[in-house]
């Protein structure tokens, strides 16, 4: 649902209630917003973390698509390529710990998604892990359950994968709005695939409540965490989530195409029957046995040879989380998005934008999505002026706020440039 932006006046000095304000009033408004940004940045608990990233003068608000490069990645990759690959070569599988990287790095991600060690494995793409999770969930579901529920507003690939999983397992797929999945789950439901945060609108869904309702109906829950992990608290263990997947190149800053992760709740691991068994998930990989015997634990989620360079780049990127508390990240995320919406309402010409991101904190991820005519052209102009977000056709501007490196001053600058661009296209 779209929400109008409540404004106190536009950037040209016309009050939204129809009265005129003076240029002095507009200047005072700008000054007040700048003072608040300075105060908020000065009080920011995460301000020093920004120095752990490679940044420039650009206001980068697209971390919900690709996170910024951290300063530790290039030195680490130089070491991996030059010494571990270049000198140690095959010895690095054991001597440099390459073989255990999927589980070791999974254990580093685990605290960011509220999981105990031994339940997260890193490797393959999000799409591949969604496929593993869905098919395995169907295989674990009680007999006679022939339906897979899918978040109707899901990222398209999740829907494609669900259809493929249904064909493979003889089930059917039914698309349901995420908010209605709890009520729609019933005796025929095997599993539901739900996005924690809607990629288009930034709406945060009720992971705990939906999971509990699915379990009450005797079904399993698979969650897509791509737009939440690293931006807000996730409690997979506490909320008894069955399986979850997520990418690492957004708020976890792992780099373009960085490997995804798969969470399998510990109690379900002995029953996790992957549709993609590979030698890397075999109980005795180097036996080269003709018959497959699954490994114990999260390693069942592995398939083939790990993608070492990208895995170790991710490993280095995760160093930025040292000493960072996820609740502080969430507090700043909500502060940034609140402040950005306030600035947009105060500065952007009235009637030009409509928010599709919920105002309620309990329903908001870490992005602001604004409906705008000619959104593609507007975003291209913003990018040309040093404010980088993205848009989703036909008319949604998306601004992702990564609390580890985004400042309140960045939010203000983005709103000011957006106002200027929209004034020029009036």
In angstroms, the Cα distances linking 239 to 169, 210, 331 are 27, 10, 21
Question: Token digits for 159?
Answer: 């829907």
Neighbours of 85 (CB within 10 A): 16
Rounded CA separation 136/131 (Å)? 8
Q: How far apart are CA 171 and CA 419, in angstroms?
A: 49
Q: CA dist 109 to 95, 105, 262, 309, Å? A: 23, 6, 10, 18
Is 132 an annotated catalytic residue? no
In the residue annotation, 328 being an active-site residue is answered as no
> For every residue of 152-174, which 3-state class applies, written as one string?
CCCCHHHHHHHHHHHHHHCCEEE
Q: Are 386 and 219 in contact (CB under 8 A)?
A: no
* Catalytic position from the list 10, 124, 206, 224: 224
Question: Has 249 been annotated as catalytic?
Answer: yes
E strand spans, 130-228: 147-151, 172-176, 189-195, 220-224
Q: Which of 132, 145, 250, 416 is catalytic?
A: 250
Please confirm, yes or no, whether 155 is among the known catalytic residues. Answer: yes
Kindly name the residue from 53, 60, 131, 155 that is annotated as catalytic. Answer: 155
The catalytic position among 398, 407, 413, 416 is 398
One of 53, 60, 249, 263 is an active-site residue; which one?
Answer: 249
C-alpha pair distances (Å), 368 with each of 46, 222, 387: 20, 25, 14
Tell me if residue 250 is catalytic. Answer: yes
Residues known to be catalytic: 155, 224, 249-250, 398
């Amino acid at each position: 649902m779209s929400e109008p932006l409540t404004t106190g006046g536009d950037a040209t000095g016309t009050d939204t209630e129809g009265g005129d304000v003076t240029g002095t009033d507009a200047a005072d408004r700008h000054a007040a917003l700048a003072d608040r940004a300075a105060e908020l940045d000065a009080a920011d608990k995460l301000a020093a973390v920004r120095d752990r990233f490679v940044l420039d003068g650009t206001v980068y608000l697209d971390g919900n698509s690709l996170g910024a490069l951290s300063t530790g990645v290039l030195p680490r990759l130089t070491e991996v390529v030059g010494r571990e690959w270049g000198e140690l070569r095959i010895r690095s599988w054991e001597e440099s710990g390459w073989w255990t990287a999927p589980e070791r790095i999974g254990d580093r991600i685990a605290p960011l998604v509220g999981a105990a060690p031994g339940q997260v494995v890193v490797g393959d793409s999000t799409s591949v892990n969604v496929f593993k999770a869905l098919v395995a969930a169907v295989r674990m579901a009680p007999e006679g359950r022939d339906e897979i529920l899918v978040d109707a507003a899901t990222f398209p690939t999740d829907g494609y994968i669900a259809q493929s999983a249904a064909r493979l397992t003889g089930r059917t797929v039914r698309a349901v709005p995420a908010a209605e999945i709890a009520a729609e789950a019933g005796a025929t439901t095997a599993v539901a695939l739900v996005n924690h945060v809607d990629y288009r609108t930034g709406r945060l869904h009720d992971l705990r409540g939906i999971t509990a309702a699915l379990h009450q109906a005797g079904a399993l829950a698979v969650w897509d965490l791509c737009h939440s992990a690293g931006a807000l608290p996730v409690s997979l263990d506490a909320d008894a989530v069955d399986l979850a997947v997520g990418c690492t190149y957004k708020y976890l800053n792992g780099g373009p195409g960085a490997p995804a992760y798969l969470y399998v709740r510990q109690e379900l691991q002995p029953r996790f029957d992957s549709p993609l068994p590979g030698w890397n998930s075999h109980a005795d990989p180097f036996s080269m046995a003709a018959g497959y015997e699954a490994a114990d634990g999260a390693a069942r989620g592995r398939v083939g040879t790990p993608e070492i360079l990208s895995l170790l780049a991710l490993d280095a990127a995760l160093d930025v989380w040292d000493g960072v508390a996820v609740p502080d990240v969430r507090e700043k995320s909500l502060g940034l998005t609140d402040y950005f919406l306030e600035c947009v309402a105060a500065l952007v010409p009235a009637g030009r934008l409509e928010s599709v991101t919920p105002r309620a904190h309990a329903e908001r991820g870490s992005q602001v999505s604004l409906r705008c005519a000619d959104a593609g052209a507007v975003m291209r102009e913003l990018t040309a002026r040093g404010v980088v977000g993205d848009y989703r056709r036909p008319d949604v501007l998306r601004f992702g706020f990564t609390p580890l490196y985004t400042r309140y001053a960045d939010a203000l600058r983005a709103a000011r440039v957006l106002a200027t661009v929209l004034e020029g296209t009036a």
